[in-house]
Amino acid sequence: MSTYDVGIIGGGPGGYVAAIKAAQLGGTVCLIEKGEWGGTCLNRGCIPTKTLFSVATLATQIQDAAAFGIQTRDTAIDYTQVLAHKSSVVQRLTGGIAQLLKGNGVHTINGTASLVNKNRIAVGKEARLQTAPTESLVNKNRIAVLKSDGTTEQVDAKNVIIATGSEPAEPPMFDIDETQVLTTTGILNLSELPESLIIVGGGVSGCEFASIFNALGCRVTVLELLPTILATEDVQIIRHIQLFMKRKGIQIHTGAKLTQVKKTETHVTAVLASGEELTAEKMLISIGRRFNTEGIGLEQVGVRTDAGKIRVDSRMQTNMPGIYAVGDVASRYLLAHVASAEGKVAAQNCLGETATMDYQVIPWCVFTLPEIGHVGMTEKEATDEGYEVKVGRFPYAANGIALGMRETDGFVKTIADAESGDVLGVHIVGAHASTLIHEAAVAIRAGAAVQDIAHTVHAHPTLSEMVMESAEAAFGKAIHSLSSG
């Protein structure tokens, strides 16, 4: 029987990164995953979705090719080939993770797991509890695992990291069948493009899929219960993206309460509280996620949860010493890059170092068309916290390379403390916003002022110049814009 410094349940972006980090620190590590390496993000989330986004972006550019002087004829989307491309990307990355784990000396097990007692992990048939868990905690540091080949194994671990992730929420009223009524997992497995699609939920995932399938030729309708889509974004960003999506032909219904879903052999209908009925070929349910904390023995070992989520401190440790949790099951943000950061923190603490998780500078990226990127406070959040703010805006339409790319829709918005000049938040909507936002993230983390960005020479012609000019605009000093707002 093997003894490890760290036993990890779940091989997603929190779990596998924690495993590699712990191994780099000299620890012996066992990583257990019931499915594919990379978890939801790589196999059913971030990567396949953003691969489709890349296809949608290219399709949009081809549709505009004539404006560049490029003539295209008989262009069409071969969705079978699109899916093949998506699958090849996923397979390459899952294989890459397997090689990284092997190269770092991480012992890996494919199977279900349960914590048996303080320091033992069991892998095998005897791990299967009456609740039929995938990975189950039976006692503080012993994990029982049912391996994929049906055999059993037990390993001991001084520390345990739970990284079991989340799955799409499936409220019963929607009668999800993954054929007509789909989750964000099911829509990635469609073999053909639907002619029309209703998306229930106007959050990040809902709006991303709306942009993707609209660009691929589907008629898309978004239903959002709240007064606005993308409610966590800055209000000016929301207004801009909503107008742009509507201009692209996406129907958006806010304040829309769904009361019934009706299905026929070929279509699905959403019945709203207002009495309005909307019909499409498919329906996507994108209204949140449920945490994978049931059936893994948390109650048995005394790990505290709150509304299904594991409670942790800044070191990612639960109330039980030696048991940590990272990623969706414990994090305040359901973001893969946050899960990875938390995994590194937990691994360091498992190996005797002292590390804490800092959530003050977390970049957010929304892969709509155009993209959204933000870091730090919104203007409202800053004023609500008592800051007197200066706000600078710089439009894509005033940027040379954006004009050359025909990507003139969008702007960069910088929010600064009026007294100190400290950067409080940066919000970008436009082409490559997901890349541009990281300069602002570094600035905020370093405690930089807008003057530090404004006085840093930026190469010309680049999109990055807009970040500099937005910083200049916060104090009315932008060179290529007459207005700061």
Q: Which long-range contacts (CB under 8 A, 24 or more apart) does 401-407 make?
A: 401/461, 401/462, 401/463, 402/430, 402/431, 402/463, 402/466, 404/461, 405/431, 406/64, 406/67, 406/68, 407/370, 407/431
Q: 3-state class of 110 per DSSP?
A: strand
Assess whether 432 carries a catalytic annotation: no
Sign of CA dihedral 63, 69, 74, 79: negative
How are strands ordered across the β-sheet holding 282-285? 181-182, 282-285, 196-200, 219-224, 251-254
Provide the pairing of β-strand 289-291 with 196-200: unpaired
Structure tokens at 329: 């099951």
Token pair, residue 383, equals: 């004023």
CA angle 133/137/141 to nearest 5° reads 155
Residues 6+ apart with CB under 8 A from 52: 82, 86, 188, 212, 216
Helices (H), ranges, 160-232: 204-215
* Concatenated DSSP letters of 7-45: EEE--STTHHHHHHHHHHTT--EEEEESS-TTHHHHHHS
Distance CA(33)–CA(115), nearest Å, equals 14
Which pair of tokens denotes residue 27? 């620890």
Q: How far is Cα 9 from Cα 114, in angstroms, rounded to an integer?
A: 9
Q: What distance in Å separates the CA atoms of residue 190 and residue 201, rounded to the nearest whole number?
A: 19
Catalytic residue among 374, 432, 460, 480: 460
Measured distance between the N- and C-terminal CA atoms of the chain, rounded to whole angstroms = 65
CB atoms < 10 A from the CB of 455, how many?
11
3-state secondary structure 286-299: CCCEEECCCCCCHH
Alpha helices for 167-296 (secondary structure H): 204-215, 235-247
Active site residues: 460
